[in-house]
Amino acid sequence: MHRHQLDFWYDFASPYAYLAAMRIEALAETHAVDIRWRPFLLGPIFAAQGWTDSPFNLFPAKGRYHWRDLARQSAKYGLPFKAPANFPPNSLAAVRIGLHLRDNDQVGPFSRALFAATFGEGRTMSDADVLASVLTGLGIDAGRAIAESQSPGVKARLRAETEEARSRGLFGSPTFLTGDGELFWGNDRLEEAIAWAAGERPGDMR
């Protein structure tokens, strides 16, 4: 069967990206879609539009709503949910490790495990202990991965990835981008993004 491709862009600090990360591989498989896991930093994109904090914090009514919505959505999917004490968490170390691992077979499991620790258990993703335990749990040499993730090459790659995200019109996380440039924002659009990647079109858009 022909395999399709979908790019999954996410910031580790994004709780809706947690919901998408835990669901995406099973859904993708139903449509023979391969997922490219692409961690990036949303901070510079938010900063460019004048936001220096999460919109959950900048707009309190919106923030209160989203925490409640996340609890409901997690219950719907049967996923545990616990907000981390400090939000948004600093995701810089995590995204560097994600980019260092590079190999999609490692980035996906690392991302899911770190998302689960952060938003399923409320742990602090910027803690070296948390990062190390996640890496060790996947059979990865944690000390080496963390050290190498701070290399100039990884830093350059992070800048390039974040610039690509901005130039392709990303403004939030999670975002799904198909090979033909169709952009879908939010966990709510995951199913539609996968269907689009597999060649399906809604209604009269055929």
Site residues (CB under 8 A) for a copy of itself, limited to 54-93 = 58-59, 61-62, 64-65, 68-69, 71-78
Give 9 or 110: the residue with its C-beta nearer to a copy of itself: 9
Cβ count near 103 (within 10 Å): 8
Q: DSSP labels for 34-71?
A: EEEEEE--SHHHHHHTT--S-HHHHSHHHHHHHHHHHH
The mark string for 18-57 relative to a copy of itself (x by CB under 8 A, - otherwise) is -------------------------------x--------
Separation between Cα atoms, residue 136 and residue 110, nearest integer Å: 10
Site residues (CB under 8 A) for a copy of itself, limited to 124-183 = 169-172, 183
Give 75 or 160: the residue with its C-beta nearer to a copy of itself: 75
Distances (CA, A) of 201 to 5, 27, 128, 180: 16, 17, 44, 13
Separation between Cα atoms, residue 146 and residue 140, nearest integer Å: 10
Q: How far is the CB of 104 from a copy of itself (least distance, A)?
A: 26
Give 38 or 100: the residue with its C-beta nearer to a copy of itself: 38
Is 14 marked active-site? yes
Q: How far is the CB of 127 from a copy of itself (least distance, A)?
A: 28
Q: 177: helix, coil or strand?
A: strand
Residues with a known catalytic role? 14
